[in-house]
């Protein structure tokens, strides 16, 4: 029971931290991650909050992933989109609503800080090996169905989101490129440390 509680703690705290990092990358106004830019674009084009679109797109992906992988829908992945969606709206609308950045260097600092926070959150939420965020599930579904490497599958999903974000007028910019370059190394940096801490707590 204690072990389940510790794993659930890592999972939920990781998702909340991810939502904070995503909010900071959006608020940096230099360009968001491809999928986040899709949600911002939809919010500005159609309405609803960014967090609502995280939940809507995520729900669609849960069923799309199941069809691609020829498996049952991973309904527990609803937890990931609900927590991230709700907390993005909390950070965006309550905490950073009037958040303004005076210079490019402050914007860049907030962007890189946001990327580091996302990576830290991802490293925490992955440790318990519970349900994946549907965007990560999309990558895995492509890998399973078509035999792609994870790197190829990840690239394909990011390009798909990038095209969609551009079509919707989402915030694509230099920040988007910086996120693509830094997110992998940052996750790798935090992953081993998060794994060590969780295993120590479980032992």
Banded pLDDT at 62 (limits 50, 70, 90): very high
Q: 145-179 pLDDT, tens per residue?
A: 888 887 788 888 888 999 999 999 999 999 998 98
Q: How large a percentage of the chain has pLDDT more than 70? A: 100
Confidence (pTM): 0.90
Residue 53: which of 134, 107, 110, 121 has the closest Cα? 134
Average predicted confidence (pLDDT) for the chain: 91
Give residue 17's pLDDT: 96
Alpha-carbon gap, residue 74 to 63, rounded angstroms:
8
User: What's the average model confidence in pLDDT over 96-103?
Assistant: 81
Predicted pLDDT of residue 81: 95
Which strand (E) or helix (H) includes residue 185? Answer: helix 174-202
Cβ–Cβ < 8 Å for 30, 174: yes
Among 19-33, 35-49, 99-113, 142-156, whose mean pLDDT is lowest? 142-156
DSSP state for residue 75 in the 8-state scheme:
G
């Amino acid at each position: 029971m204690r072990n389940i509680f510790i794993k659930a703690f890592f999972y939920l705290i990781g998702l909340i931290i991810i939502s904070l990092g995503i909010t900071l990358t959006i608020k940096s106004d230099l360009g968001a991650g491809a999928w986040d830019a899709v949600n911002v674009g939809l919010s500005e084009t159609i309405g609803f909050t960014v967090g609502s679109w995280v939940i809507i797109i995520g729900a669609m992906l849960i069923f799309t992933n199941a069809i691609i992988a020829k498996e049952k829908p991973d309904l527990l992945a609803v937890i990931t989109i609900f927590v991230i969606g709700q907390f993005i709206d909390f950070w965006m609308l309550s905490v950073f609503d009037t958040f303004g950045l005076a210079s490019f260097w402050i914007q860049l600092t907030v962007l890189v800080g946001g990327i580091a926070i996302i990576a830290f959150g991802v490293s925490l939420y992955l440790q318990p090996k519970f349900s994946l965020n549907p965007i990560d599930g999309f990558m895995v579904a492509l890998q399973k169905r078509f035999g792609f490497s994870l790197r190829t599958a990840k690239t394909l999903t990011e390009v798909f989101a990038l095209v969609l974000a551009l079509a919707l007028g989402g915030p694509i910019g230099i920040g988007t490129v910086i996120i693509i370059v830094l997110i992998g190394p940052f996750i790798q940096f935090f992953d081993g440390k998060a794994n060590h801490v969780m295993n120590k707590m479980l032992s």
